[in-house]
Structure 1
Amino acid sequence: MQDVLGWRKLFGILGPSTNTVVQPEFEDMRPAGVTNHYSRVFTPNAQAIDNESFMKATHVISEGVIDAIDSVMTCDPHYLVMGMSAVTFYGGLKGAAEFEKQVTDRSGGVGVSVGSTSTAEALRAYGNIKSIAFLSPYFPAANEQVRQYFTEAGFEVKGDIPLQRPSWTAIAQTPIESMFETLKQLDNSDVDALVQVGTNLPMAALAAMAEPIFGKPVIAINTATYWHALRSNGITDKIDGFGSLLQDH
């Protein structure tokens, strides 16, 4: 018997309890017959005021993932989608693989899309992207981890900007104008694509709007992660409003 509303797939979404962006953005990308079931990772609203406190706070989120997996698995999802990104970059390719294995093992073998892998696969889907620049709401220490991951994944990182937002909830309060100005600072003729990481940064719609302005792919991590989840499950629907990735690939 199929789920009446989720007759194609049930997605279990895992994200920090402080995150107010992943849930609505994933819902806006959801095609008919796919349903999203959000499981919140308990996350104190840490005041990330420097490198050390930011890194420590992200590890606290990681420690809560297991409980969130156990909770969402009670609805028998077909697939898991990670709505948190920082820890999926830590430790480069090896660290990302270990994190994915931890999630898959705990879920009893259910597949998962995570931000790091999804974004790298999204970049490869274009076929001609060699260099990137990225922005994040993180602090510099976390950006170093993101840079390491993308470098190991085969991309040349031409630049990065950490917005250093002062708390988890403040990430979702980042003005659209600030994010757009940051994209402008990162862009130049040597950059094949612009990338945004940090799932609580509300950039899915902005990235789509920015692509024709910059004349190149602008990839928001929530778009990349949901795209990866759909395509990994054989769902090839073209979704309007979220840029070339979901429309053309």
Structure 2
Amino acid sequence: MDIPKIEDYMGNMVSKEVLKKAIGDGPEFEIVYEALLKNNESNSSNNNGEENSNTYVTTGVGQKLEQIPLRMRKEPIQTGELILDDTVKRSTTTNISSNESTIDGHEDSSVDVEKIYSTVDKYSQKYGVDRNLILAIIKQESNFNPNAVSSAGAKGLMQLMDFNSEAYGLTNPFDIDENIEAGVKHIKDYINMFDGNLEMALMAYNGGQGTMERRGVKSSSNLYKMPQETQNYVPKILENYRYYRSMS
């Protein structure tokens, strides 16, 4: 048994968890962790044990580690809420389907952010749904990309399946106004169905009412019975919701 290799493996696993808690599990984590592994391998192969003070750790894509914008968690973290620094948020990018859009800072000029926000306000008031909840859903579902398409076929800002679009009279799922109105009506129907229980409504929005019935989900405490995607989805939406409420 190669003890040094086992120790290296365990050390890397501990480092991975510590790093993930520090910066979250977004694309920045993958870049930094890969750089850390490469640096460790480089150090292991250095037989003379001398440190070159002029050597930089790089990400393998032409960036120095210290140049990467990181989303750092600010302590203490209350109830699992992720607080993002404004200067860091603006540099965070996420790929959606074949399109790329900058979230939070909305630096992608192709995204009409003002229209998205004004449309959210309009249908928030029309259907009595908190605008911050709508924004939280849009952020998680599409990262504010009106042209987002999931592998399952969900489309647009609020990621509606074709059968839901048809049910709410949505003719163009990539139209900002149409998609948001249909999505708000959809989540509103679930909120009413579950007597204002937001967690149950979100379970239905993501996993489907039929899935909840088949799996015997009767209350919020039954979230563990839902598919893993939905188990991750509900707390993430609630986290986004708290964030937008704190910013309003």
TM-score by length of 1: 0.23
Radius of gyration: which is bigger?
2
TM-score by length of 2: 0.23
Name which structure has the greater RCO, CA cutoff 8 Å, separation 6+. 1
